[in-house]
Chain A
């Protein structure tokens, strides 16, 4: 019978620490692999934004505050106010 006794709960705590230490490498590798796989899946499935090819698309894609001021003041505005004008052929076909 040993006259030494550790603090209460010491054995349970150390047992948990030791088990965690011997399991740690597997969990680390699993976490790293899972993280990499998740990144790849997101990269593949992420919807890519297609450039607008029509006036309607441009209109919908542009936030209101970024619309040319003159255009906003004149109701549906002058199409010349756009700095980057869509392809006229596409624009015609969308009208």
Chain B
């Protein structure tokens, strides 16, 4: 995890550089983070179109608010904070439009993944991602940050503003639901 805690060499230019330096630093940021962010957001959002929108908003927000990063957490945590807040906003807006139970959401997500030309996972992965997509937004956020992005609970707490205790409880509930829906090969 050395990469997570190390300060990127371009960070100072991204925060305080003149226009050209800042743009050059931002290109370096994109080299490192663009694909990684997309895949993180894609797991949260469940479909490509929403993931593309949230990824784009996040990248632009990082460029515009880089000077506000104070270094109290790892830079990666700060980026995940922006991305997960934007994703959560989009998910909550979407879940206000349609409220369905976990089982119904799980089956709908499985069907959608089977028809998704950009999903190449096997059956177990399909069940796993369908179950993740069926979780309530906040549980999904915690599960993805912990399970897929491997962030420590302390960093997730910093990113979400939720206590470590609550996060662990959310993660436990999420993992339990997922285990019930993933059939071991």
A4/B42 in contact, CB under 8 A? yes
Number of interface residues of B (CB under 8 A): 27
A15/B34 in contact, CB under 8 A? yes
Indicate whether A26 reaches chain B with its CB closer than 8 angstroms. yes
A contacts with B: majority SS: helix
Closest residue of chain A to B120 (Cβ to Cβ) is A3
Which residues of chain B are within 8 angstroms of A23 by Cβ–Cβ distance? Answer: 23
Which residues of chain B are within 8 angstroms of A19 by Cβ–Cβ distance? Answer: 23, 26-27, 30
Indicate whether B96 reaches chain A with its CB closer than 8 angstroms. no
Interface 9-residue window, one of B54-62, B74-82, B170-178: B54-62
B-contacting residues of A (Cβ < 8 Å)?
Answer: 2-7, 10-11, 14-15, 17-19, 21-23, 26
Indicate whether B119 reaches chain A with its CB closer than 8 angstroms. yes
Which residues of chain A are within 8 angstroms of B118 by Cβ–Cβ distance? Answer: 4-7
B23/A14 in contact, CB under 8 A? no
**B52 in complex: contacting residue of A6, A15, A21, A22, CB < 8 Å:** A6
Closest residue of chain B to A22 (Cβ to Cβ) is B63
- Given the known A-B contacts A3-B119, A3-B121, A3-B125, are A14 and B39 also in contact in the complex, defined by CB atoms under 8 Å? no
Per the 8 Å Cβ criterion, residues 100-132 of B in contact with A are: 118-122, 125, 129
Indicate whether B16 reaches chain A with its CB closer than 8 angstroms. no
Which residues of chain B are within 8 angstroms of A4 by Cβ–Cβ distance? Answer: 39, 42-43, 48, 118-121
**A14 in complex: contacting residue of B26, B34, B129, CB < 8 Å:** B34
Report the separation of the CA atoms of residues A3 and B51 in the bound assembly, to the nearest whole angstrom: 14
A-contacting residues of B (Cβ < 8 Å)?
Answer: 19, 23, 26-27, 30, 34-35, 38-39, 42-43, 48, 51-52, 55-56, 59-60, 63-64, 118-122, 125, 129
Report the separation of the CA atoms of residues A10 and B43 in the bound assembly, to the nearest whole angstrom: 17
Which residues of chain B are within 8 angstroms of A26 by Cβ–Cβ distance? Answer: 19
Which residues of chain A are within 8 angstroms of B30 by Cβ–Cβ distance? Answer: 15, 18-19
A18/B35 in contact, CB under 8 A? no
- Given the known A-B contacts A11-B38, A14-B52, A14-B55, are A22 and B26 also in contact in the complex, defined by CB atoms under 8 Å? yes
B56/A14 in contact, CB under 8 A? yes
A21/B60 in contact, CB under 8 A? yes
Report the separation of the CA atoms of residues A14 and B58 in the bound assembly, to the nearest whole angstrom: 12
Question: What 4 A-B pairs have minimum CB-CB distances, sorted nearest first?
Answer: A3-B121, A2-B39, A22-B63, A4-B42
Report the separation of the CA atoms of residues A17 and B23 in the bound assembly, to the nearest whole angstrom: 14
B52/A3 in contact, CB under 8 A? no
Report the separation of the CA atoms of residues A62 and B60 in the bound assembly, to the nearest whole angstrom: 61
**A10 in complex: contacting residue of B26, B52, B121, B129, CB < 8 Å:** B52
- Given the known A-B contacts A10-B52, A11-B35, A26-B19, are A2 and B42 also in contact in the complex, defined by CB atoms under 8 Å? yes
